[in-house]
Amino acid sequence: MAEKIKYGFGVRQFGKTPRTFEQEVEFAKINGFDFLQVFYFSKKGLEMIPPGKGIERIRKANFPVIIHAGFEPREFQKQIPKVVNIIDELGGGEVIIHPWNPTGRPESSFSVLIQEMAVARDIFEDKGIKVYVENNSEKDSILIEPEEIKEFFGQFPEMELLLDIGHMVSFEKTKAIAKVKLPALLHMSDRDLNGPPNHLPIGKGNIDFKRVIGEILPDFQGKIILEVTESDEAIINSKKIIEYMLSNNY
């Protein structure tokens, strides 16, 4: 199973060990990663160190990337066309859409997400873009509960689930989400389940990854993105741990 999985990591433009995009590409190539996750935010666009010329730099690097676009549902009408344009300029492909509403704004509620995503779907389908939609942690107000996630994918069955293990509220809730729709993409990081999500290296929090892989993801064959914002060694070791667990069928 493990040989079918592709690995990436989120570029460290913030956190304890920020790196330039070009440094991350070199690190990814040396350490056997298949792609990078590059962030897009509504206020800054593509988030890279140093800022600017994102599309040009991605093209020049000639290394696969996936765009992680995070913003509130109320921003969809303005931001989705910008994200699609970036993907179009990079030659098409796929995108992570991470809807959030941490303050519980009525104008970014779950019902608004459904309305706005229905419009966005037509844009994505017209461009042939594959969409992964990410679940949220307890810090947010949408896409946390399995019932809500089931309703979402009932409306948008053609979209894929990105299951963020680092957003785990409880093992049981994460397992229930994965039963709604088998995830095609994972965000992997550890966390202290007694505190806020903090994107720790694998093994540095208290998530039981053996149980996650053995009970929640025994048939997983998609892609994994490590969302670890610490040292090179922390990323390398996290990848080794996950690869070992998958190869030994935990």
Beta bridge partners of 8: 35, 225
Predicted pLDDT of residue 250: 66
Whether 82 and 46 have beta carbons less than 8 Å apart is answered as: no
Whether 15 and 49 have beta carbons less than 8 Å apart is answered as: no
- With H, G, I as helix, E, B as strand and everything else as coil, classify residue 64: coil
CB within 8 A of 110, min separation 6: which ones?
Answer: 142, 143, 148, 152
pLDDT in tens, the chain (250 residues): 445 899 999 999 877 778 999 999 999 999 999 999 999 999 889 999 999 999 999 999 999 999 999 999 999 999 999 999 999 999 989 999 999 999 999 999 999 999 999 999 999 999 999 999 999 999 999 999 999 999 999 999 999 999 999 999 999 999 999 999 999 999 999 999 988 878 899 999 999 999 999 999 988 999 999 999 899 999 999 999 999 999 886 6
Amino acid identity, residue 53? K
Whether 234 and 9 have beta carbons less than 8 Å apart is answered as: no
Predicted pLDDT of residue 188: 97
Angle at 240 between CA 238 and CA 245, to 5 degrees: 100
Dihedral over Cα of 195, 198, 201, 202: its sign: positive
Predicted pLDDT of residue 92: 87
Instruction: Identify the structural domains of the chain with CATH numbers, from first to last.
Output: 2-247 (3.20.20.150)
Predicted pLDDT of residue 124: 98
Q: Cβ–Cβ contacts within 10 Å for residue 199, how many?
A: 19
Dihedral over Cα of 241, 39, 136, 103: its sign: positive
Predicted pLDDT of residue 17: 78
Whether 144 and 108 have beta carbons less than 8 Å apart is answered as: no
- With H, G, I as helix, E, B as strand and everything else as coil, classify residue 134: strand
